[in-house]
Structure 1
């Protein structure tokens, strides 16, 4: 088969991401020790379909030495990391007001930190954790992530005997666990399914599909424990137990890396400590400033001082990444297409974070429904999520251009925000509210696996951590920073706490989401236009 004949939509987007040089598009640096399937601009046959030898040996692209039962358990353990990550979001969101009352906190801005602190650390530490996995074993750091999550979930529950500040700290530290789990779990999938094909598409689509399920499960059980059992901390104790069980299960189910191969791939690699310090410090300071601004006001000196220092840290991070031999994020090798893809993802998921938090407030504070009722109302997102994942795998199998799929995803982010901005307060659940629950998962579960597969196919096996890290970082950080942006706009335009001001503030936040997702749609359409100008022989 000729290269031109095997060139698919998935291949084309990777061609636009990769610069014309024999290294990965994300900038891997040295090519020594890279697997023969390493992607380059002249080797796109491996991106479009499984190799013949793989198909003959496994009947498709099943990982070597795995039975079907083992493969199902393996994928299940990996996607469980996405489930528990989203459980962490749901368990912070659902009983937010009940936990706030327990600690004597009633300010909406301070309550938002119960979710924002968790998302902040998930998004901030992912790249460093993914890079560490590339060097020291993805499996070991995946196990460490579950153990860490278990510990700080336990301490989050124990913080019920302390105060709100300690709870915020525990929630933030709890988020470091998923920061280890997500990139290393995706890297393990990427290394196992190193030959693109039906199984890889299904595995990555399933990873995205379970996100609504995790958020719903976390929200419902947290609401049950807080509202009926009257012990909100119980949700965190259960999470600690689940984390411990998954640590044990992962140890036995996930195959060990080939030590010789991994040592060869990791040989000579160095961790960019200065870049990690500058990048993590900058992201944390900027995020703290954006989320504290709506709480205390931007006129408070420490808020804008933190923001300025954060930007200085990020400027230092960019300089470091452009000068060191082995950066955390190889900025030199990132093409404009890569940046556009990640920017589109950021705009979509910032919209989703705003929609999720303010819709929850709309149901609780405006429609006066209980946390359990709202959690049950979210159940359709589970079914819609699996349908969206199935659609994603189907479209990939039909070689639909990933750029087109990103446009669909951004529309899926935009419509629910439009509905939130316009739906009447006392309208029946089965109208705009129900429709928004059906549409929102299509934004989540098309954008995440599409971007992850695109980047995973475009980097070599010894740098799979960076593929998972970039997408997961953008997703989680965008959620947190999006809430800060919306909160700032709401504080300026509708600062009151009376019912009418509260409803007006929710509408404003929803329109902020519409604006962000609208910009994402435009960016995605630009990418479609530019992608179709790529010569077919490239």
Structure 2
């Protein structure tokens, strides 16, 4: 929406560029911390004396709170204002980053990462919901494609920035750098992003839904993370997995009956929405495994420095920057099914090649070809997938649609980090020992390639050629910072 007219903006206008800039910068905070920490894991392990489980929880603590609460973040944005919740999340994220940067031990770092995830859960769905509510329907594919490409810069520049900071100074700088970036986001967002919300959204918070959903993900994640060290018959593992499954079942049952659910289960009756989120779960589980182990393997097995392993994925970033907006526009013209089917297949080819990266790997012949192919696959896939997940529902559900899709993606990555090393044969081994990591990495890349192929099959079967048209949006948009309240006429004397 334009600040002066209150009308949806075009992708090419100045108002559209400001909205895009604010959402990209904000999302990049979360994207950067989803990737940059992986670069620093070996240094964090050595500095804080952390074992494999501690390093997994450094990643999973952030992903767990983000995945558990991102639905709540989308729901709060629909209720109280997407801009308001977005900026609150950015500020929260910055404060948690300070705590990460000054953590004296691995336990404090994990706790601070959990707090970071809460901030990410507030800001991430708000960014996409703001785009969905602000741009004209014919420009949303381009806007989301540009957001994917530009946001991908943050995700892939994160390892480069992290590697450079670790090389020249200390792993703590990778968290402290978030503070000035957050300040810029808050200034741009407060000045240039209009407020929007769903006036029909309930004002109360679904406490039972929040607790059961979070407990379900926490139980599954803790159980799978403890499995390699404690064994499958351990009471801790069995109880954690049982609590996780029972809580998720309770979550679904309660949401079906609740008067004002955090997650309206009826939205999954929409085949395009359900299909897009199922594809999201499968392909982002693969991405979670790739981004967790790829840079660690380059350092531990192939002998790359943190900086060299950080810049290894820059070609993927460059391709997403150049191609994502075009892929979004193409998807709007020909429909999402073809890009969402072809993209994962291209990624699968790249991951088979990545599985061959071992000791003494040469970047130009062993690493770069797979990275380029992977970038082509993600560029083809991500924008159409995101646009389908948001565009399948009416615009008034922009917040919850974004929240669901982000929750699915984060939960997939979260479970991938916990489960894939176990499935690949890590057992009680170490992620910083080359002999133990090499076969685990190779097996994980092949499993992830299989997941990508499964995603392509699901997209072909479940995603429609064209998304249905929706009635006019019922989303309220106000040029001011705070959602306006209905004005009550004064009583005439």
Among 94, 98, 104, the residue aligned to 1:154: 98
SS of aligned partner of 1:383: helix
Q: Does the aligned pair in 2 maintain the 1:226–1:232 contact within 8 Å?
A: yes
Matched, 1:381 2:323: no
Matched, 1:124 2:68: yes
Task: Give the TM-score taking structure 2 as reference length.
Answer: 0.87
> What is the CA-CA distance between 1:248 and the residue it aligns to?
2.5
2:370 alignment partner in structure 1: 436
Matched, 1:219 2:159: yes
Matched, 1:69 2:10: no
Q: Does the aligned pair in 2 maintain the 1:154–1:240 contact within 8 Å?
A: yes
Matched, 1:196 2:141: no
2:327 alignment partner in structure 1: 392
Matched, 1:87 2:87: no
SS of aligned partner of 1:169: helix
Matched, 1:412 2:346: yes
SS of aligned partner of 1:491: coil
1:277 alignment partner in structure 2: 211
Q: Does the aligned pair in 1 maintain the 2:426–2:440 contact within 8 Å?
A: no
CA displacement, residues 16-55 of structure 1 (integer Å, 9 cap, x when unaligned): xxxxxxxxxxxxxxxxxxxxxxxxxxxxxxxxxxxxxx9x
Residues 179 and 488 (structure 1), Cα distance of their counterparts in 2 relative to 1, 3 Å cut: same
Q: Does the aligned pair in 2 maintain the 1:213–1:382 contact within 8 Å?
A: yes
1:356 alignment partner in structure 2: 291
Distance in 1 between residues matched to 2:30 and 2:221, nearest whole Å: 19
Q: Does the aligned pair in 1 maintain the 2:337–2:465 contact within 8 Å?
A: no
> What is the CA-CA distance between 1:255 and the residue it aligns to?
1.7
> What is the CA-CA distance between 1:285 and the residue it aligns to?
1.8
**91-100 vs 457-466, which deviates more?**
457-466
> What is the CA-CA distance between 1:143 and the residue it aligns to?
0.8
> What is the CA-CA distance between 1:423 and the residue it aligns to?
4.2
Q: Does the aligned pair in 1 maintain the 2:35–2:291 contact within 8 Å?
A: no
Residues 172 and 483 (structure 1), Cα distance of their counterparts in 2 relative to 1, 3 Å cut: same
1:465 alignment partner in structure 2: 399
Distance in 2 between residues matched to 1:201 and 1:225, nearest whole Å: 35
In structure 1, stretches of 5+ residues that fail to align are: 1-53
Matches within 5 A, 1:94-243: 94-105=39-50, 107-159=51-103, 162-193=104-135, 195-197=136-138, 199-229=139-169, 231-243=170-182
SS of aligned partner of 2:233: coil
Figure out how many residues of one structure are paired with residues of the other and give that number.
464
2:488 alignment partner in structure 1: none
In structure 2, stretches of 5+ residues that fail to align are: 470-493
Distance in 2 between residues matched to 1:313 and 1:158, nearest whole Å: 34
Distance in 1 between residues matched to 2:206 and 2:452, nearest whole Å: 34
Distance in 2 between residues matched to 1:354 and 1:527, nearest whole Å: 24
Q: Does the aligned pair in 1 maintain the 2:255–2:262 contact within 8 Å?
A: yes
Among 362, 365, 372, the residue aligned to 2:300: 365
CA displacement, residues 497-527 of structure 1 (integer Å, 9 cap, x when unaligned): 8644421111111122122222222222323
Distance in 1 between residues matched to 2:234 and 2:295, nearest whole Å: 29
1:312 alignment partner in structure 2: 246
> What is the CA-CA distance between 1:390 and the residue it aligns to?
3.3
Q: Does the aligned pair in 2 maintain the 1:417–1:511 contact within 8 Å?
A: yes
Distance in 2 between residues matched to 1:476 and 1:436, nearest whole Å: 24
Q: Does the aligned pair in 2 maintain the 1:293–1:484 contact within 8 Å?
A: no
Distance in 2 between residues matched to 1:448 and 1:439, nearest whole Å: 14
Among 454, 460, 463, the residue aligned to 1:525: 460
Residues 532 and 476 (structure 1), Cα distance of their counterparts in 2 relative to 1, 3 Å cut: closer
CA displacement, residues 241-269 of structure 1 (integer Å, 9 cap, x when unaligned): 22133222211111234xxxx58434x55
> What is the CA-CA distance between 1:457 and the residue it aligns to?
2.6
Distance in 2 between residues matched to 1:446 and 1:512, nearest whole Å: 21
Distance in 1 between residues matched to 2:249 and 2:341, nearest whole Å: 31
Distance in 2 between residues matched to 1:207 and 1:453, nearest whole Å: 11
Q: Does the aligned pair in 1 maintain the 2:272–2:392 contact within 8 Å?
A: no
Distance in 2 between residues matched to 1:459 and 1:428, nearest whole Å: 46
Among 446, 456, 459, the residue aligned to 1:511: 446
Q: Does the aligned pair in 2 maintain the 1:114–1:171 contact within 8 Å?
A: yes
SS of aligned partner of 2:266: helix
Matches within 5 A, 1:270-349: 270-335=204-269, 336-349=271-284
Distance in 2 between residues matched to 1:534 and 1:204, nearest whole Å: 16
Q: Does the aligned pair in 2 maintain the 1:355–1:420 contact within 8 Å?
A: no
Q: Does the aligned pair in 1 maintain the 2:316–2:376 contact within 8 Å?
A: no
Distance in 1 between residues matched to 2:126 and 2:466, nearest whole Å: 35
Distance in 2 between residues matched to 1:320 and 1:383, nearest whole Å: 44
Q: Does the aligned pair in 2 maintain the 1:123–1:179 contact within 8 Å?
A: yes
Distance in 1 between residues matched to 2:437 and 2:168, nearest whole Å: 27
> What is the CA-CA distance between 1:176 and the residue it aligns to?
1.4
Distance in 2 between residues matched to 1:532 and 1:66, nearest whole Å: 24
Matches within 5 A, 1:45-60: none
Q: Does the aligned pair in 2 maintain the 1:99–1:232 contact within 8 Å?
A: yes
